[in-house]
């Protein structure tokens, strides 16, 4: 005799096609995170970090290419007893097949009244952009604030920084598609002398000209979205194999009866 499952269990399962539809919806959502549309603003992490000045003043500088496009945006220097962050001077940009001379516009957020050595200590949530509240601005072209000197805090000490700080700063730089705003985190140690700080992480907005909030990172890391999708699909495959085994066992039992 053919046996059928009790009706009270019929509403507790969904078909494989329904499961696949759910997975497809989840996959589409994750794909949207992994490959955002160009018009959708989101923070992008700088892959070149962490970064400190070189171990010796004879080693020149450690150059920070924020977005990895092959163009140096900031230079971290070791001047034997002092350390600083320099913005890079004018660069030649190639846009839409035409050569255009333009300033690099690699700048650091500066308190009002500061120029060359401006390096503002910012609070989480501060908006870095074309216009900023509280009188903040970007420092002058070629600016180079001294972070530490002789193992002590440098010129940035007048701007709220101290040895041992782990704090936020803001910046802007130029990519081929325009100016981008960002924020970074710096740890100031003072030692070794001449190398006493590390930029630990930084994010910039992927949309040129779009403001960014200090401390804000993507809710889901795009790099992990593919792994999540693979996990979902793998789980569905396991569920389907179990369903097929149960169906095969039920068929065998029915034939035996």
**Residue-by-residue DSSP string for the chain:** ------GGGGGG---HHHHHHHHHHHHHHHHHHHS--TTS--EEE-TT-SB---SSGGG-EEEE-TTSSS---EEEEE-SSEEEEEE---EEEEETTEEEEE----EEEE-TT--TT----B-TT-EESSS-GGG-EEPPTT---EEEETTEE-GGGGGT--TT-EEEEEEEEEETTEEEEEEEEEEE---STT--EEEEEEEEESSTT--EETT---SS-HHHHHHHHHHHHHHHHHHHHHHHHHHHHHHHHHHH-
pLDDT at position 87 is 82
Confidence category of residue 238, pLDDT binned at 50, 70, 90: low
Instruction: Please state the domain count of the chain.
Output: 1
In a domain, 11, yes or no: no
In a domain, 2, yes or no: no
pTM for the model stands at: 0.68
Q: Report the pLDDT averaged over residues 43-47.
A: 96
Rounded mean pLDDT of the chain? Answer: 78
pLDDT at position 59 is 87
In a domain, 244, yes or no: no
pLDDT digits (tens, 9 = 90+) for 89-144: 644 333 333 333 344 578 999 998 888 899 999 999 999 999 999 999 998 777 78
- Structural domain span for residue 83: 43-213
Specify the pairing of strand 197-205 against strand 43-45.
antiparallel
In a domain, 145, yes or no: yes
In a domain, 174, yes or no: yes
In a domain, 12, yes or no: no
In a domain, 228, yes or no: no
pLDDT at position 247 is 72
Which of 67-76, 125-134, 171-180, 235-244 shows the lowest mean pLDDT across its residues?
235-244
In a domain, 18, yes or no: no
Which of 60-74, 75-89, 130-144, 223-237 shows the lowest mean pLDDT across its residues?
223-237
């Amino acid at each position: 005799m053919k046996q059928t499952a009790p009706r009270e269990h019929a509403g507790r399962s969904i078909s494989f096609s329904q499961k696949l539809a759910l997975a497809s919806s989840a996959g589409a959502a994750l794909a949207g995170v992994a490959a955002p549309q160009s018009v959708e603003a989101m923070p992008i992490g700088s892959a070149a970090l962490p970064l400190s000045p070189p171990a010796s003043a004879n080693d020149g500088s450690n150059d920070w290419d924020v977005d990895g496009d092959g163009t140096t945006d900031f230079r971290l220097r070791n001047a034997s007893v002092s350390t600083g962050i320099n913005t890079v001077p004018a660069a030649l940009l190639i846009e839409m097949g035409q050569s255009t001379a333009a300033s690099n516009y690699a700048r650091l957020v500066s308190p009002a009244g500061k120029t060359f050595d401006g390096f503002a200590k910012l609070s989480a949530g501060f908006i870095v952009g074309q216009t900023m509240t509280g009188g903040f601005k970007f420092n002058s072209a070629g600016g180079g604030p001294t972070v530490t000197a002789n193992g002590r805090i440098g010129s940035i000490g007048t701007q709220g920084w101290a040895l041992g700080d782990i704090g936020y700063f803001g910046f802007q730089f130029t990519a081929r598609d325009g100016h981008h705003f960002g924020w970074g985190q710096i740890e100031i140690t003072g030692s070794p002398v001449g190398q006493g700080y590390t930029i630990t992480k930084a994010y910039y907005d992927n949309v040129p000209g779009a403001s960014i909030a200090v401390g804000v990172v993507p809710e889901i890391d795009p790099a992990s979205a593919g792994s999540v999708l693979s996990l979902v699909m793998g789980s569905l495959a396991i569920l389907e194999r179990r369903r097929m085994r149960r169906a095969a066992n039920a068929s065998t039992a029915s034939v035996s009866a």
